[in-house]
């Protein structure tokens, strides 16, 4: 099976890693019509916007991005470090929504 997806389209398919489902992200979704995603480390705001519009067929108003530094943790006598995470808060235009329960 061959697909005629451009390299740019394949990049956009890999930008979003997972939706963030937590109390904070649910509260933000209800209050500000925003959705939170984990994204790859080198993703830009324009790429995130294009990826959400491509995958979920919604209109995006704006994107805020933040980097969360990984914590240093101890495992018995060994020290380790959690990996850094890049998050994106995607603000949808009025009337748009993403329902993850239906997507499956």
Residue 30 has pLDDT above 90, yes or no: no
Count up the domains in the chain and report the number.
1
Query: What is the extent of the structural domain holding 63?
Result: 7-92
Q: CATH number of the domain that 13 lies in?
A: 3.30.70.330
Separation CA 97–CA 91 (nearest Å): 10
Residue pair 49/65 in contact by the 8 Å Cβ criterion = no
Position 47 in a domain? yes
Position 102 in a domain? no
Position 101 in a domain? no
Res 51: pLDDT: 94
Mean pLDDT score of the chain = 88
Position 42 in a domain? yes
Res 3: pLDDT: 55
Q: How far is CA 93 from CA 54, 64, 85, in A?
A: 15, 14, 26
Position 40 in a domain? yes
pLDDT, tens digit, for every residue of 72-98? 999 899 999 999 999 999 999 988 888
- How many helices (H) does the chain have, and how many strands (E)? 3, 6
Residue 40 has pLDDT above 90, yes or no: yes
Position 82 in a domain? yes
Position 13 in a domain? yes
Region 55-59: what's the mean pLDDT? 91
């Amino acid at each position: 099976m061959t697909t005629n997806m451009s390299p740019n389209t394949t990049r956009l398919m890999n930008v979003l890693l997972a939706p963030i489902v937590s109390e904070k992200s649910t509260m933000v979704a209800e209050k500000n019509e925003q959705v939170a995603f984990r994204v790859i480390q080198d993703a830009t705001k324009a790429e995130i916007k294009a990826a959400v519009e491509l995958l979920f067929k919604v209109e995006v108003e704006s994107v805020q991005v933040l980097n969360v530094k990984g914590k240093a943790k101890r495992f018995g006598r060994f020290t380790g470090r959690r990996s850094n995470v890049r998050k994106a808060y995607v603000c949808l235009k009025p009337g748009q929504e993403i329902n993850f329960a239906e997507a499956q």
